[in-house]
A and B are shown apart, each in its own frame.
Chain A
Amino acid sequence: MTIRRRRRREEAFRALCWVAVYLPLALLALLLAHALVEGLPRLGSAFVSDFPSASPERAGILPAIAGSLYVLSLAGVIAVPLGVGAAIYLEEYAPARWSHLVEMNLAQLAGLPSVLYGLLGLGVFVHVMGMGTTAISGALTLAMLVLPLVITTTREALRDVPGASREAALALGATRWETVRQVVLPVAWPRITTGVVQALARALGETAPLIMVGALAYVSFLPDGMSSPYTVLPVQIFHWVTRDGFVPNAAAGVLVLLSATLALNVLAVLLRQRLERVEAERQEVLP
């Protein structure tokens, strides 16, 4: 093949690759543009503070936002101590054999479709444990979903702490827990926090599991307890999308959801920077 032909083939291929790179980005831009055009007019202080309604102009997203906040907080309160604790155990205490088994298990759980978590929540929390279609069922289901993520990122954060620090502390007579608490955790903490916030950002967008455990389409009040009926932002969007005439509402909801997810991810990064600086300062104080 002549060099010119090869060159042309290469150019064509390069162009193809270029398309492969920019087409998804262009489609993402299209998605955002469409959501903005449809949703921005609907978005306003009324939308964010109104309750659902049969008429699109009056339908608002307040119970969904409140529900998301509430259920996410509950899920966080459950998942974070458990997840961080599990990671500490696996990294600092567990024998290597266990560790390997659990690691594989975590990889499986992380790759599980979220709808199966919904199934588990439906079977166990809603029915067997009799919690019904309430906020606590939703929170527990989300907590389970988020747990593998929290454990994995915490483990990575713990792993990054140099072994030398641990060994030195132990050599000086600290117990394992003291080592963890005073030496390992402070260094790993910023990254753990980042991981937690990112996991929560992911949980914010979860729709299928919560629909399956009973997040409602229409609630006229804010959640007022763990046994309260509720709805969340993505579920509200879902019910609007499938309803003709409510597309602007769905679009506005999409904008709110995307902003919240983005804000959480930005928060995660900022938190980490802040906490790392705090930790560095703390270490400078000591001689």
Chain B
Amino acid sequence: MKATTDASASHDEPVVVLPPSAPLTASARGTGERLIEALLTSCGLLSLAMTAGLILTLLAETIAFFDDVSPGAFFGGFEWAPRLAHQQFGVWPLVTGTLLTTAVAMAIAIPAGLLAAIYLGEFASVTTRRWLKPALQVLAGVPTIVFGYFALVVVTPALQTVMANLSGFNALSAGGVIGIMLIPMIFSLSADAISAVPADLREGALALGADRLTTIFRVLLPAASRGIGASILLALGRALGETMIVAIAAGHQARLTADPTVPIETMTGYMLQVASSGVRAETVEYRTIFAVGALLFAFTLVMNVLAYRLQRRLRQEAVA
């Protein structure tokens, strides 16, 4: 005897659980009710408060930061050394470091995730289909510190046997492991998008004589492109914001380079290092964390908003 799910199921009558009789006077009900409503309303506004708090904190410290350091030095400088005697505040080395690891990560996650999703949709047997998604979800549940361990202790030494010039800290191992970590994200969302493609599209293509590959690449993927795009954007946001893997394996040397075999420093790695060093509040060094954080926030916000918009449009189309 469970509550049914659908009022349109004509032959089932919805079963309702009656509240036990609770004799409350009308006034007690009223005030109690209003109190609870007020409580719940304040809870509800909490998430907005959190976002507001985050933005305010970032803004306040960043504005204070730009009192000491000109935006020109920050956005126009190419050397990042806020803690040396001769302080430099050009943020680009951190940005390129982040972009480098992200690029490596995406280069692994996007092909692998997409191919896996296609496999699930097109080639997998029924039994495989049942365990594949949960299995890759396990990968998604592994904490990033474990991946960081993996990158430093396993991946880097392994890569060093084939690439003799690889530094102990480098963007390749870190980015590679981030990519592996993101495969489930792209995989599951793309697989959903692919399976949502109406069957008649696929069958129509086959009927017209297209082989499997052509169907996949000319019909399926384009039809699922919005969902795939959303998954890529979300993964991109995650990669940009990844901290532990890069803090452990990518290095702490802020430099402008496109070479993935040398130590670099990402925005997140820098933030972690300085925050954990007990730097004093209200100093320029302290505020650099917030300035860099604000930049990171801007990046991920853009990614997430775009992804959200794409997903919402998808959901609306699905309903229609």
Contacts and interface: CB of A to CB of B under 8 A. Distances in A.
Whether the complex brings A and B within 8 Å at their CB atoms is answered yes
Given A111-B237, A212-B271, A165 B14 contact: yes
A75 interface: no
Nearest to A18: B119
B132 A21 contact: yes
A102, A115, A148, A254: residue with the most chain B Cβ atoms closer than 10 Å:
A115
B267 to A, nearest CB: 9
Interface string A106-134: 11110111111011101110010000000
Interface stretch (A51-59, A200-208, A220-228): A200-208
Interface stretch (B45-53, B65-73, B78-86): B45-53
B126 interface: no
A258 B142 contact: yes
Nearest to A168: B16
A49 interface: no
A21 B180 CA distance: 11
Interface in A63-102: 81-83, 85-86, 88-90, 93-94, 98, 101-102
Contacts of A112: 54, 241, 297, 300, 304
Given A20-B112, A24-B183, A257 B145 contact: yes
A17 B275 contact: no
Given A85-B39, A118-B275, A211-B275, A241 B180 contact: no
Query: Range of interface residues on chain B?
Result: 35 or more
Interface stretch (B87-95, B133-141, B218-226, B254-262): B133-141
A161 interface: yes
A34 B154 contact: yes
B265 interface: no
Given A25-B135, A124-B57, A238-B145, A93 B152 contact: no
A237 interface: yes
Nearest to A34: B154
Interface string B153-194: 110000000000000000000000000100110000000000
A212 B275 contact: yes
Nearest to B120: A21
Contacts of A238: 145, 148, 244, 247-248
A30 interface: yes
B203 interface: no
A176 B37 CA distance: 9
Contact of B241 (A24, A105, A113): A113
B149 interface: yes
B23 interface: no
A34 to B, nearest CB: 5
Interface residues of A, number: 102
A115 B268 contact: yes
Contacts of A98: 44
Contacts of B290: 119, 123
Q: Is the interface of B mostly helix, strand, loop or mixed?
A: helix
Nearest to B112: A20
A9 interface: yes
B193 to A, nearest CB: 16
A112 B296 CA distance: 10
A234 B40 contact: no
Contacts of A81: 43
A151 B15 CA distance: 28
A187 B213 CA distance: 46
A137 B253 CA distance: 30
A23 interface: yes
Interface stretch (A40-48, A189-197, A278-286): A278-286
Contacts of B147: 31
Given A177-B36, A207-B244, A237-B145, A28 B16 contact: no
A68 to B, nearest CB: 12
A127 B301 contact: no
Given A175-B33, A238-B244, A116 B115 contact: no
B41 to A, nearest CB: 6
A108 B301 CA distance: 7
Contacts of B44: 85-86, 89-90, 93-94, 98, 102
The 4 closest A-B pairs by CB, nearest first: A113-B241, A205-B143, A85-B43, A89-B44
11 contacts: A9-B213, A20-B114, A20-B116, A31-B147, A86-B44, A93-B40, A105-B51, A114-B241, A177-B37, A178-B22, A187-B3
Given A164-B3, A284-B1, 18 more contacts: A6-B211, A9-B213, A13-B213, A14-B123, A17-B122, A19-B115, A20-B116, A108-B304, A113-B300, A118-B272, A164-B7, A201-B141, A208-B244, A211-B272, A234-B143, A234-B145, A251-B153, A257-B143
Interface of B: 1-7, 14-20, 22, 29, 32-33, 36-37, 39-41, 43-44, 46-48, 50-51, 53-54, 57-58, 61, 111-116, 118-120, 122-123, 132, 135-136, 138-139, 141-150, 152-154, 180, 183-184, 211-213, 234, 237-238, 240-244, 247-248, 268, 271-272, 275-276, 278, 281, 289-290, 293, 296-297, 300-301, 303-305, 307-308
